[in-house]
Structure 1
Amino acid sequence: MKNTIFAFKDDSPKYKQIYEQFKLFIERGDIPANDPLPSIRQLADSLQVSRNTTLTAYEQLVAEGYIRGEGRKGFFVNELEPLLFQDAFVLPKKNQTKSVTPVLINFRAGAVDQTHFPLIIWRRIANQVLTLQESFGYGEPFGELCLREQIATYLLQSRGVKTDPNAIIIGSSTQQILIHLGQILKDDFPSIIVEDPGYDLAWEAFHFHRFMLETLPVYETGADFSCLEEMRSRLIYVTPSHQSPIGVSMSIGQRQMLIHWANKRHGYIIEDDHDSEFRYTQQPFPALASIDSTRVIYLGNFSKSFLPGIRLSYMVLPQLLLDRYKNQFLHFESTTSLLSQLTMAKFMEEGEWNRHIKRMRLVYKRKMHCIVSELKKQFSQDVSIIGEQSGLYLLVKVHLKRSEEWLIERASFYGVKVYPTSIYFIKNHSNEPIIKLGFSNLTCEEIKLGVQLLKKAWS
């Protein structure tokens, strides 16, 4: 092995450079399997380095399985699986390169408005929390009492739900809570009714426990409850205040009928109240759990209305399920951050949560008006707008005789990222493509530009 192979650089240790060079030779097959390597002394003399340097390089190669030492015989190359490395050294052909238009406008749903986030207040409270003795523990398995008390107060004021703080379970996300909930329900409830279209991540949680899914059709006018009595399930998952993804709200008559159904079947309603705070035409509708808390499992979260990365969700359990849940998970650690819980509890206690919701409702209302106005201006009768009364996104049914895939690809070509809705349908498919447009993290100027580019893309 010639000295010229190793052109040492000054920015990293020589043993590391030797190790990396031999690793490259072996992965490329330049040194075949079972071939001997130079001895430590020969390599050191050849490269004009110390024996410790070459020894360290060989020891690293041995540790990672590239070579082996065989007593006094020396070091030999191990046989490696070629599939692990064959793609790493294939250079792309020129005709394989594809120009990608940079994303100018991203209509992603689930984001929040960063410019109005109460960063200074949140940081101040978080710093205060770090001085508390309880911040340096592991926390309660079902969530901190101070946060559960604040949530109980908030739910009574805003959603009409009367609950004891001890009936509230804190979790990291709605999906994680559903997985835990499924653990205590699956033996008594082998199947569950879900909305179609509906929340796909909830379906994944139900599939995890092998629930059989029955589907409840949902249209722009609301859910079709006429088939409910024919179904076998005694468990149903719904998003009544802002149906995901259609955006329609369940009427009071439908809510009462669903409560009656659950009582008659001795079943349960899982109510996902994911972003009920943001209704722009009237006050937020009362929760199902405010009508009958004995048959409703209520879910809420702080991700969509405050900060996705905070990973804070909660569940209110009926008394019949509460003891069973706590017995099942008593010896499991909490799935969410203790510091986030304590900070949010203080944030709510100081009234900042209510101020934030009130402020953001106005901000998002303006953005909703902006995107609706621009869509009507640019597309006129070529699109129908679905779900403009509430939420942080809307749906656009496109009447251009184009596929969902085509619409998304064309938008991407013009630097606009839009999202499919076909993933939310099981049986009740739409006869025309529907595109999902989130607007919460965009300015009105960005919204207008995005819609104008969509007009060019889809013309």
Structure 2
Amino acid sequence: MKTTIFAFTDSSPKYKQIYEQFKLLIEQGDIKVDEPLPSIRHLAQSLQVSRNTTLMAYEQLVAEGYIRGEGRVGFFVNEVEPLCFQEGRNSSHHEPIEPLSPVHIDFRADVVDQSHFPLQTWRRISNQVLTGKDSFRYGEPFGELCLREQISEYLLQSRGVRTDPHAIIIGSSTQQLLVYLGLVLKHDFSGMIVEDPGYDGAREAFQLNSFTLETLPVYETGADFSHLEHLKSRLIYVAPSHHSPYGVSMPIQQRHALIHWANKMQGYIIEDDYDSEFRYTQQPFPALASIDATRVIYLGNFSKCFLPGIRLSYMVLPQSLIDRYKNQFAHFESTTSLLSQFAMAKFMEAGEWNRHIKRMRLVYKRKMQCLVSELRRYFERDVSIIGEQSGLYLLVKVHLDRSEEWLIEQASIQGVRVYPTSRFFMKNRTDQPIIKIGFSNLSIEEIQFGVKLLKEAWS
């Protein structure tokens, strides 16, 4: 279609004028259903505006259903019912929903560093996997043996966990494994102790299986184990190596106390070891399962350390639960990709996994140090930094007498996305807002720019 029809005025932002004129053309039928729109780049050049301007206009049209994006093909017009523009409505003066400010820096914690991802190696191994005849069948219900063997070796080497490959269950995510595990455990247990604050995704999985939740208070300095003796449940879910969200690690005294509690109660500890590889001050702590595996259910994943989209997680069951679990799910299909399992097994066997972890530990350590340095430079005593020793994010407790919502909204206005921690808390809430800031997929320059924008937002 021709773009010469657009005539800008000075009365409103250009993206809004582009949006309004496209919407009017679609509603009047001047642009037909399924007709392609100009590309963002071509439209920007034709109108002599920035690509961000045309992108914002298109995003608003997509959000309201006028057009759709089809991958890399482009944008196309949707069918619009006459009801949307009849009854004398003056479409040219209709105000759109105001979009959020464009995002310059996104401090997400659930992404990994794209620039250091071993793309060529992973692609080569994945291509090799596709030539094998085993790749053209359904997967084993509890995971491919080749991957379970590699995980078994890795856990012994890195976490001190001795386990047989047949005790390892491969799943698509921690939540999925917790839901399945809950179906087995709820025959003998009705309650679950969870950390407060703690990983809300685990709580949702437990509640799906109707467990009654009791809470163990956790603070910036660690968990308060004095509450444990007053709780009735015999199951407990913890993240001892890197608490979510505080980032604190459980000392050896508490680890031994927790093992003693589980044996005394004849219960189980569910140990979520979700990102223990990234510790920047010392070596990763030994896992609870390395102390006594008889009462510990160990959970790990490849999402934080490698690639979230690979959807590979694993669980190590104590001997007393292996047969019960496998009998329950013997006739269920595997929930994760067979090809991803084969590729990861070869990746680990070739030594690429260990090389990747060592490389990324250095990369993330530099980013963490940069983020901490910039926060202290710009905010000084206005914030307290929590959890800088490990992980792919840190927490910022803000001493500005502002709410969590205000801090996030003001950051958004400046084009910065930061994230709440309120969803992690149940009863044990803090008196000052705490903001979660990830850094894994940002460059040093982006981290510096993002903190500068945060300072402007929160001033």
Secondary structure in 1 matching 2:304: coil
Q: Who is 1:365 aligned against?
A: 365
TM-score, length-normalised on structure 2?
0.81
Structure 2 vs 1, CA of residues 95 and 235 (structure 1 numbering), >3 Å: closer, same or farther? same
Report how far residue 191 of structure 1 moved: 0.6
Secondary structure in 2 matching 1:294: helix
Give deviations 1:80-106, integer Å, cap 9, x for gaps. Answer: xxxx99668786964554253100000
Summarize the alignment of residues 127-206 of structure 1 with structure 2, pairs less than 5 Å apart: 127-206=127-206
Distance in 2, matches of 1:309 and 1:88, equals 41
Unaligned runs of 5+ in 1: 13-83
Q: Who is 1:393 aligned against?
A: 393
Structure 2 vs 1, CA of residues 85 and 179 (structure 1 numbering), >3 Å: closer, same or farther? farther
Distance in 2, matches of 1:390 and 1:138, equals 38
Report how far residue 189 of structure 1 moved: 1.0
Structure 2 vs 1, CA of residues 416 and 256 (structure 1 numbering), >3 Å: closer, same or farther? same
Q: Who is 1:207 aligned against?
A: 207
Report how far residue 178 of structure 1 moved: 0.2
- Please list every run of at least 4 consecutive aligned residues from structure 1 whose deviation after the TM superposition is greater than 4 angstroms: 5-12, 84-96
Q: Which amino acid aligns with 2:443?
A: T
Secondary structure in 1 matching 2:276: coil
Structure 2 vs 1, CA of residues 377 and 235 (structure 1 numbering), >3 Å: closer, same or farther? same
Q: Which amino acid aligns with 1:434?
A: I
Distance in 2, matches of 1:301 and 1:360, equals 16
Q: Who is 1:239 aligned against?
A: 239
Q: Who is 1:115 aligned against?
A: 115
Larger Rg: 1
How large is the RMSD of aligned CA atoms in angstroms? 2.0
Q: Which amino acid aligns with 2:429?
A: H
Distance in 2, matches of 1:93 and 1:189, equals 61
Distance in 2, matches of 1:437 and 1:335, equals 31
Structure 2 vs 1, CA of residues 403 and 7 (structure 1 numbering), >3 Å: closer, same or farther? closer
Report how far residue 139 of structure 1 moved: 1.3
Secondary structure in 2 matching 1:253: helix
Structure 2 vs 1, CA of residues 94 and 227 (structure 1 numbering), >3 Å: closer, same or farther? same
Q: Who is 1:21 aligned against?
A: none
Summarize the alignment of residues 1-400 of structure 1 with structure 2, pairs less than 5 Å apart: 94=94, 97-400=97-400
Distance in 2, matches of 1:414 and 1:257, equals 47
Structure 2 vs 1, CA of residues 147 and 227 (structure 1 numbering), >3 Å: closer, same or farther? same
Distance in 2, matches of 1:377 and 1:346, equals 44
Give deviations 1:311-344, integer Å, cap 9, x for gaps. Answer: 0000000011110000000000000000000000
Secondary structure in 2 matching 1:184: helix
Distance in 1, matches of 2:269 and 2:317, equals 11
Distance in 1, matches of 2:408 and 2:419, equals 7
Distance in 1, matches of 2:31 and 2:311, equals 48
TM-score, length-normalised on structure 1?
0.81
Q: Who is 1:445 aligned against?
A: 445
Q: Give aligned-pair identity as a percent.
A: 73
Structure 2 vs 1, CA of residues 324 and 449 (structure 1 numbering), >3 Å: closer, same or farther? same
Distance in 2, matches of 1:110 and 1:212, equals 28
Q: Who is 1:433 aligned against?
A: 433
Distance in 2, matches of 1:168 and 1:134, equals 20
Moved more, 93-102 or 221-230: 93-102
